[in-house]
Amino acid sequence: MSDNLVTRLKELNEIGIALSQQHEINNLLETILEAAKRITHADAGTLYLLDPERRALRFEIVRTDTLGIAMGGMHGVPIEYYPVQLYDQQGRPNHSMVVSHAALSGETVNIPDAYAAQGYDFSGTKNFDAKHGYHSSSFLAVPMSNHEGELIGVLQLINAQDRDSGKKVPFSRDDQQLVESLASQAAMALTNRRLIVQLEELFESFIQLINTAIDDKSPHTGGHCERVPELTMLLADAVTRTRHGPLKDFVMTEEDRYELKIAGLLHDCGKITTPVHVVDKPTKLHTLFDRIDLLDTRFEVLKRDAEIEMLRKTGLRSEDGGLSAEAQAEYEARIRQLDDDREFLRHCNVGVEKMPEAALLRLAQIAEYQWCDNKGRNSDTKNFLSEDELDNLSIRSGTLTAKERGIINHHIDVTIQMLESLPWPKHLKNVPEYAGGHHERVDGKGYPRGLTREQMSLQARVMGIADIFEALTAKDRPYKTGKTLSESLAILGKFKLGGHIDPDLFDVFIREKVYLDYARLFLSPEQIDEVDLNKIPGVNPEA
């Protein structure tokens, strides 16, 4: 074996290692073609990939060194060539082209001189040569097939050159065997990379399926699982860009970004177990139906009782045949009071951000009204509102009771349990921690584990801010409208001062105007108001 061949075999081995380390398909394709050109000392080459639907070979990478042509891949200009058809309109195989014959037959085609070759159509090659002042001579077309014998594409090289003189020479037998070996390695590397990409796409699609199911549980939180990951990545990228302050050394690789993206997509996956009647509780009295209608019935009973009482007091009729004026006035006042109380309870049934103390006192008074449903002989007089109804109508913020809020909050425990049970690969091992920490607080008063700032990763703290800001600006909550930018930032600033969120991340959020990037994507025009940072609590002008 010649020293030259030994060197080239060693180079082929190194190429194989390089192929296994490529993560981007376009980079992988360029590496394949450039490696084939290098080990054969070819001036030009094209890598074609099979397009199964069109039954054609699609140009992916085109390189011609002496003409300075670089098309396709990561660094070339777009390719505008038509694909090479493998079959004609009648469905007959196209063996007239070198690359199509190699693809259809599965055999290597090695042509010493295209202008002297017989049996192949080189008219396109000759037109190219005439247009560019080039001379295509030797051709080597090698099919790339995977381990199952399925065609992946074709690797075509043009114009082998003598390593000493630089003259055009035919591709040697050694050249052919080396490229065939490379094509086999390339097909395997490409198949593996495609398989990984397909698995990642399947995984992300499955996550989106879960999120769709969660968001579809309630029209009031739909889109939350989409918006929080987007805002998480906007803030994380802003931290990566920052060049001063405590976070100036934070960096993320593409793998780091993907890991955080997956964590963002899965941050609420535990909500898939949360009961629908809790997730989608539009009013305070809602269970399987809105129990406010039951109260209407009770008010009608009280009105009936008021009428009976009026008639009893008048002795049915006065001397002039009419009802007592005093009794009539008392009755009408009672009816107005009951109608007013009914409207008040309907108002209380709607979730608000903060229920006034006066409303709570009035609610307690109404709850003590007495009524009798007259169901059977043992009917008892009872309070107008049951203990459960009073508890629900007294909810100070939103529509959920403390117990129901606990059910909602339990989703983060379920999220952590679900994610920690999965066999995460090394590059995704932090997903459970990132996703499971978005309800923690930097002062240790969050849930479910009460972690402090030092016990949390930066990524988890990023997700915490994203979750809060999305909730503040969300337009689809049943008890509030989406807040404006200035209102949301004011609350977020108070959270910074109160030890709720990471102060350094808040500074980046403000300085890099992450809130504005997010607003342009998801907020309605009326929410995007003018922000005066001098009026936002916690803003550090020197940050």
**83-101 per-position pLDDT tens digit:** 999 999 899 999 999 999 9
Torsion on CA atoms 198, 204, 209, 212, rounded to nearest 10: -150
- Return d(Cα 402, Cα 296) in angstroms, integer: 26
Please list the ranges in the chain whose pLDDT falls under 70: 1-24, 218-222, 314-324, 374-379, 476-480, 543
- Looking at the whole model, is its pTM more than 0.75? no
Cα–Cα distance measured from residue 455 to residue 450, given in angstroms and rounded to the nearest whole number: 9
Where in the chain are the domains? 3-196, 221-273+404-535, 292-399
The per-residue DSSP string of 34-46 comes to HHHHHHHTEEEEE
What is the topology classification, in CATH, of domain 3-196?
Answer: Beta-Lactamase (3.30.450)
What is the end-to-end Cα distance of the chain in Å, rounded? 67
pLDDT for res 408? 82
Strand partners, 42: 160
The secondary element (H helix, E strand) that includes residue 522 is: helix 514-522
Provide the CA 194 distance to its chain's centre, in angstroms: 21
- Which tokens hold the place of 100? 């199509």
Residues 6 or more apart from 522 whose CB is under 8 A from it? 227, 230, 473
For residue 146, the model assigns a pLDDT of: 85
Question: In the structure encoding, which two tokens stand for residue 181, read together?
Answer: 């070996």
- Quote the pLDDT of residue 476: 65
How many helices (H) and strands (E) the chain has is answered by 18, 10
3-class state of residue 61 by DSSP = strand
Confidence (pLDDT) at 403:
87
Pairwise CA distance, residues 45 & 203, whole Å: 36
Q: Which distant-in-sequence residues (6+ apart) come within 8 Å of 42 by Cβ?
A: 36, 140, 157, 158, 159, 160, 161, 171
Alpha helices in 23-97 (DSSP H): 25-40
Residues 6+ apart with CB under 8 A from 125: 114, 136
What CATH number has the domain spanning 221-273+404-535?
Answer: 1.10.3210.10
C-alpha dihedral (301, 304, 305, 308), degrees to nearest 10: -160
pLDDT for residue 475: 80
pLDDT digits (tens, 9 = 90+) for 195-233: 888 888 999 898 888 888 877 776 556 578 889 999 999
User: What angle, 0 to 180 degrees and rounded to 10, lies between the N-to-C axes of helices 3-20 and 173-217?
Assistant: 0
For the four alpha carbons of 390, 391, 396 and 401, in that order, the dihedral sign comes to negative
* Cα 468 from Cα 215, distance rounded (Å): 17
Pair type for strands 84-85 and 139-145: unpaired
